[in-house]
Amino acid sequence: MKLLKTITSYIPAVAIAFVLSLFIGIFVFQPYKVVGQSMEPTLQDDQRVYTSKLARTFSHMPAYGDIVVVDSRVNRERSFWDNIVEQPLIQLIRGASNDRTFYIKRVIGKPGDVIEIKNQQVYRNGEALVEPYIKEKMNPSQDSKWVIPDNHIFVLGDNRNNSEDSRVLGPIPFDHIMGIEEIK
């Protein structure tokens, strides 16, 4: 009987810790794991990154060059429920799936920007970008152009020849930015 009483006395503390953990993961910061080589040489496969969610919480647009985690399911609306069920603690309880929903990419364009890729070079608003962080020059491809709409960003991987990014997904809605990992 004493053991049961001791166990039940811990329930409020465990419940508070659980709720606090969810709050921190939804609004403050969250860890993610790099899957694949799309951000090489900046980030390596299986590397852990910790993203700040404060910019998202306070609706602050990331800066050019920031590394962001985005929800790649751009053709669906995100809900607050998504933020809850995607928390590591909830994934642990539910039995985490191995889906590749979240991509880690670099911000290249913001609302109103015109992004062009021509002759293996990225241009923002007509100016060629200086990108010392990329792994190698892009393979030759068809020239492309995007005008970034309001509340969207344009992202690319640092390993341009091995990255599924805005060239495939299109501009990313602001509410699909999960967090920002600022590497300076």
First to last CA, the chain: 57
- Name the residue with tokens 């200086």: 130
Give yes or no: 59 in active site.
no
Give yes or no: 135 in active site.
no
- Angle at CA 42, nearest 5°, toward 40 and 47? 80
Calpha distance 26→19 (Å, rounded): 11
Catalytic annotation, pick one of 2, 9, 38, 145: 38
- Name the residue with tokens 């600022």: 182
Catalytic annotation, pick one of 33, 79, 105, 135: 105
Residue 123 has φ and ψ, to the nearest 5°, of -120, 135
Give the list of residues 6+ apart from residue 71 with CB closer than 8 angstroms, or none: 78, 82, 101, 102, 176, 178
Q: Which helix (H) or strand (E) segment is 84 a member of?
A: helix 80-85
Q: Which residues are catalytic?
A: 38, 105
